[in-house]
Structure 1
């Protein structure tokens, strides 16, 4: 599906560290696809200084002891409640992971995405062919990124492999735009209805150039960018929500263009999200909003300035 380099950051505090090492070994050694994992994937483990594992092996030593492939996968039948992170009620520092994975990537272009978002097959090859076809395009002065449209599919559905199949899913209700029932404006993409109606073509092209303003001022795009793009704020957690909003503000103030690709998309791991009451997350989201409003937003204005229409 991806067939290109992958840089994965994994949060492994305390006793979560060793099972993660075992899982990496299993993926590298025990699957029919293990040669692809060894060829393309680098793993980067991180944890807070307050929750350092009892032993941390040197990276050069970690893989010297092979995994016993007759054993079941280390991640089989493990619930989130059994994790050290859950037992200690730790927050998931998602933006630390995003920055680590991005900084460790060796490629020029990067798709900073979450592991449960699946790109359509052939995306990397077609994207690089699009760039190669448009040499003059690379000379454009305006900073730009290439957002991907994101969708959810029903729990029993297979992940669509191309745009034509995705369109069938959308027509029959098996697929919906990402977070439509949770936060539609967070992932509403400019010209999305026109994008969904446009027929698939063999090549990849820019469908529309949008901005993070107006109705889309709270847009949290996931995009193909480069190492030159602003980092994510590491004070924000997954549980506190709004973790990509501050970076979105920076992109807006820096006058980034959002070059939306026509035949490229992401599909979340099957299962359509609905809004659920979660008192702990609501409390943490309130604290996050205060942190952004009182501390982070004033800092962003100093670092990047202001621009009419740009909001956090």
Structure 2
């Protein structure tokens, strides 16, 4: 009995000693683990403090936003631009292998949050048209958040507008050129001449798309490398010099200008998130891209609204021979002395009458860009045809409408109204038409086409729009 108790006592002592040793070992290892966990936390805290100090000591810009997973770049971008080089597959790799991005650029990228779009050349059908997308691409490429693309359309006789447009825009341009039948060859010559002779900015920033009807296919279509291998003779007059509309294949074949095909082709081919669909004879106020993206990065309260939004630009006409205004202050001075007028004042004043236009003109020019007023396409402005900075999410233009038939932007305006878009008018940004004030001229042929277009909209397109988008009180085509 004593022997059994003695053994039990010894076993109990042994077990207690083992438990104490285990607990001591666990406590020691836990201390090491805490040290390991606390070390990176301390380093992270010091890193944040150092980043905040650097932000306070610099130009007042906020510290960079947290690193987000990288977006894939297109094949072309990855091979031609440093910014589009393949990135690491995780934020941790990015921190270790890439230099710290510029705080302003990172912040803008985080705010815009878009996906890069391909700029590879391709051929496709669109309705009754063939389209050569990215037929002659620009030398410079942009990430989707880096700029705004000016998207526009023309035939080759309007390419002289590229020089003044680019000097003010200084950013990417997506241009759809209508070139049916025998208009194709002079179009090719004009593209080459514009790139080689007008301005270096043309080759750097303009991407040309070419389109033509399926019943008016050119006999030959050279590949872009063949086209660019031959340089233009800049001592000769431009291919568009002294060419009248009556000399074009389009006119001789009685082809209506498919304005909305061109608009949609140029829009959909743009590689940036923000786009300015406009007409090639409308030139923007200088520094618009820089100031607009600064405003986007700043995220003023109106930009935080949940409604879809676009940013209309007031448009003005200038007397023939006038110099383009460099800013709003100069523009207002020209309006006061009569050398500038609101766009289409003598043709269709209601089509381009901007909400709070008098207050806009009375407001003094300020630094940068801000939202001056939020308008709607209702009431007195129910037939407003704004030209605006928007995105790829905005409704497209109806491709059944022609330039000759007029009202080509009205259907899109109705869709914007029904979708309850906010028209956030900017305080210092504007467009000016190529100098030369338009006057009303009687054109029976165009009046007849306008009547047919109105009937098409009223009987066919408007009922479709009501099914597709619904209705809203105050909205009309």
Compute the TM-score of the two structures, normalised by the length of structure 1.
Answer: 0.97
Listed as ranges, the matches of 1:131-280 within 5 Å are: 131-134=296-299, 138-280=303-445
Aligned with 1:3 (options 170, 181, 188): 170
How far apart are residue 141 of structure 1 and its match? 1.6
How far apart are residue 87 of structure 1 and its match? 1.3
Aligned with 1:72 (options 229, 234, 237): 237
> Where in structure 2 are there 5+ consecutive unaligned residues?
1-167
Q: Which has the higher helix share?
A: 2
**In structure 2, the residue corresponding to 1:302 is in which secondary structure?**
helix
User: Which stretch shifts more, 231-240 or 135-144?
Assistant: 135-144
Give yes or no for the alignment of 1:43 onto 2:208. yes
Q: Where does residue 61 of structure 1 map in the other structure? A: 226
Q: Where does residue 311 of structure 1 map in the other structure? A: 476
**In structure 2, the residue corresponding to 1:54 is in which secondary structure?**
coil
How far apart are residue 158 of structure 1 and its match? 1.5
Select the structure of larger CA radius of gyration. Answer: 2
How far apart are residue 65 of structure 1 and its match? 2.5
How far apart are residue 140 of structure 1 and its match? 2.9
Aligned with 2:258 (options 89, 93, 100): 93
Aligned partners of 2:302 and 2:371 also within 8 Å: no
User: Which stretch shifts more, 96-105 or 129-138?
Assistant: 129-138
Provide Cα deviations, 1:271-296, integer angstroms capped at 9, x if missing partner: 11111110000000000000000000
**In structure 1, the residue corresponding to 2:360 is in which secondary structure?**
helix
How far apart are residue 139 of structure 1 and its match? 4.4
Q: Distance in 2 between matches of 1:191 and 1:138?
A: 19
Q: Distance in 2 between matches of 1:171 and 1:98?
A: 34
Aligned with 1:29 (options 193, 196, 203): 196
> Where in structure 1 are there 5+ consecutive unaligned residues?
none
Compute the TM-score of the two structures, normalised by the length of structure 2.
Answer: 0.64
Provide Cα deviations, 1:5-29, integer angstroms capped at 9, x if missing partner: 0000111111111111111111111
Q: How many residues align?
A: 310
How far apart are residue 37 of structure 1 and its match? 1.1
Q: Distance in 2 between matches of 1:147 and 1:30?
A: 33
User: Which stretch shifts more, 102-111 or 150-159?
Assistant: 150-159
Aligned with 1:81 (options 239, 246, 258): 246
User: Which stretch shifts more, 83-92 or 290-299?
Assistant: 83-92
How far apart are residue 69 of structure 1 and its match? 2.9
Q: Higher relative contact order by CA 8 Å / sep ≥ 6: 1 or 2?
A: 1
Provide Cα deviations, 1:163-201, integer angstroms capped at 9, x if missing partner: 001000111111111001111111010000000111111
CA RMSD of aligned residues (A): 1.2
Cα 1:135–1:264 change in 2 (3 A) is closer
